[in-house]
Structure 1
Amino acid sequence: MLRAWRYLRLALHLLEGALTLLLCVPFCARPTHLRLRQRWSLRMLGILGLRLQFQGAPIAPGTMLVANHVSWLDIFVINAMTPAAFVSKAEVRNWPVIGWLAAKSDTIFLHRGSRGHARIINAEIATLLDAGDNVAIFPEGTTTDGSRVLHFHAALLQPAIACGHAVQPLALAYRKPDGSYSRAPAYDGELTLGQCLANIIAERRLIACVSAAAPIETRDGTDRRSLAQKARATIMQDIGCADGDGQP
């Protein structure tokens, strides 16, 4: 019964989000749009049985957020904490409902392997940061099961360096109420979106843990690879990984 109730509430919530984007957002001011997105994302987590737990440094406007990537839920977790534009792989645009919602919520879709498109993306990121918007990226380029942090690709950090905006590492982890690690939200391997959603809904309660490290100041000339390595090391430490293969 709990699972059926969650599926029903989720369907209604997605419908509400679609109607809000179609009927309200085009006619409201930017701050109102961001508040609506934050409130909607927080309710989304609640419907799925997740509680948001945040600790660490405050997040200032115009910051590039750099996070490890575990699940499609990561986007809603970060938006529930602080509304942000996201850089995502182009395939997400084709996901049912969620892809459309992402496209309407400042998501920047990246075509992998295209240097020309990467330059366009970097320019869009810089424009958003200069306007005071937060931009979130997942430098691993893929998801994991949450027990490790893969190599960080540094290219998308360049706009923050070029424009002098801070980079702030966010460590994401999903845990059970007793504090133990949960693999349920992980969207990795051959798992489908539907299977991942079923795994999440099957859990009675989960905690989405976000740890925000102190912002790393940048300036033109900062080495982006060193910056990526520093952000990755900080996230691994906050999650509890001794190395990329460590268990939290």
Structure 2
Amino acid sequence: MSVWLPTAPCTPRACVDSARSAAAVPRAVLRLAAVAVVAIPGIALSPLAARLSPVPRDRLVRWWCRAVVRAAGVRVRTTGGEAPTGGVLLVANHISWLDIPLLAAVRPARMLAKTEIRDWPVAGAIVARGGTLFIDRDRLRALPATVARIAAALRGGAAVVAFPEGSTWCGRARGRFRRAVFQAALDAGVPVQPVRIRYRQHGDATSTAPAFVGDDALGASLWRVASAHGLVAGVEVLPPLPPGTHPDRRSLALAAESATGDGVSRDSCPRAPGTRSHADADVRASGPGTPEPAEQTPHAHRHPAEAPRRALTG
């Protein structure tokens, strides 16, 4: 277990809302069946879709991702402009596994994931075939090479999605953006596209039902989402940060973090009393491509049974 990995104070018991109405159980059963009907054929046909030319393939992926989210009972509201074409780094706040199909519905892109996912049954082969960029989260020295691979993908015209908080938060609080992945955008000379994700219920109230935090199990998270009533996922595509407008990764990360903030509390969770805040360590890198230790994980895909790991605190 690496001491550098960021984590959040959010836990399912302290932060997450659950549906308790009598209608929740049959609602969840029907929705999960609908998700299976939509998701399984899409996964089975993914090798054929990969042979399509980029434009029809992207349209198909966007449609399928929206269909999976909608089958789970989540309405999607996308606002803002279109993500730039060509190489672009999409960065967003991170709350749930739902964030991934939501962003793919905005712009199909290569995801960042931890290396362990490659060994998962079924899912590992799918994400590898989809061009996922893998990160060895436990080896700090491997991070510069990962940043270089991301930059190469961006130079080649790919869109890459990252969650720079490095961990999921409940939605009522948020983490700081680690700076490592922004070096790739600087090196490749491509824009950064901030995207703000927020889940709402009962009008404009923030909902933590989709949050996948702490030692949460994927099955429990799926059930909460499917049983929730009136859940809406808001995806706001914010103005891009053009290349050359920020001189270094620190200012670029701060600009993207500020854009996605929307007044959400940073580094502390109002629903998890007694937890400590997590600040970036003031550790300097030896060169422009070497991230600070506190930045080791620009994206934190977790195994459902994996508990969050402790971050370096200042």
TM-score, normalised to structure 1, is 0.89
The equivalent residue for 1:6 is 31
Amino acid aligned to 2:55: P
Cα displacement (A) at 1:223:
1.3
The answer for the alignment partner of 2:264 in structure 1 is: 241
- Asked if 1:82 is matched to 2:107, the reply is yes
CA distance in 2, matches of 1:112, 1:152: 16
**What SS does the corresponding residue of 2:206 show, helix, strand or coil?**
coil
- After TM superposition, the structure 1 = structure 2 runs for residues 48-197 of structure 1, keeping only pairs within 5 Å, are 48-61=72-85, 62-93=87-118, 97-197=122-222
Q: Detail structure 1 runs of 4+ shifted over 6 Å in the superposition.
A: none
Structure 1 residue 85, shift from structure 2 partner? 1.3
Task: Report whether the alignment pairs 1:31 with 2:31.
Answer: no
Deviations 1:168-200 (A, max 9, x none): 211111111512111111000110111111110
Tell me, yes or no, if structure 1 residue 40 matches structure 2 residue 64.
Answer: yes
For the Cα contact (< 8 Å) 1:162–1:220, is it kept in 2?
no
1:113-142 Cα deviation digits (max 9, x unpaired)? 424532332233223322322111111111
More helix as a share of residues: 1
- Unaligned ranges ≥5, structure 1: none
- Distance in 2 between residues matched to 1:119 and 1:88, nearest whole Å: 16
Cα distance in 2 for partners of 1:38, 1:221 equals 31
Larger radius of gyration: 2
Secondary structure at the counterpart of residue 27 of structure 1: coil
Distance 2:106 2:59 in 1: 11
* Deviation string, structure 1 residues 141-174 (Cα, Å, up to 9, x no partner): 1101111221211111111101211112111111
Q: What is the CA–CA distance in structure 2 between the aligned matches of 1:216 and 1:109, rounded to whole Å? A: 25
- Structure 1 pair 221/150, CA: closer, same or farther in 2 (3 Å)? closer
Which piece of structure 1 moves more, 32-41 or 91-100?
A: 91-100
Structure with higher RCO (Cα < 8 A, 6+ apart)? 2
Give the Cα separation in 2 of the matches to 1:119 and 1:67.
22
Cα distance change, pair 197–242 in 1 and its aligned pair in 2 (3 A): closer
| 2:40 paired with 1:21 | no
- Structure 2 unmatched ranges of 5 or more: 1-25, 271-314
User: Quick one: distance in 1 between partners of 2:90 and 2:205?
Assistant: 26
Letter in 2 for 1:32: P
Give the letter aligned to residue 58 of structure 2. L
CA distance in 1, matches of 2:44, 2:140: 36
In the TM superposition, what is the alpha-carbon distance from 1:82 to its structure 2 partner? 1.5
**C-alpha separation between the residues in 1 aligned to 2:171 and 2:124?**
22
Task: Indicate which of 237, 240, 248 corresponds to 1:215.
Answer: 240
Q: Which residue of 2 aligns with 1:232?
A: 257
CA RMSD between the two structures: 2.3
**Match of 1:141, as an amino acid?**
G
**C-alpha displacement of 1:39:** 1.1
Percent identity between the aligned chains? 32
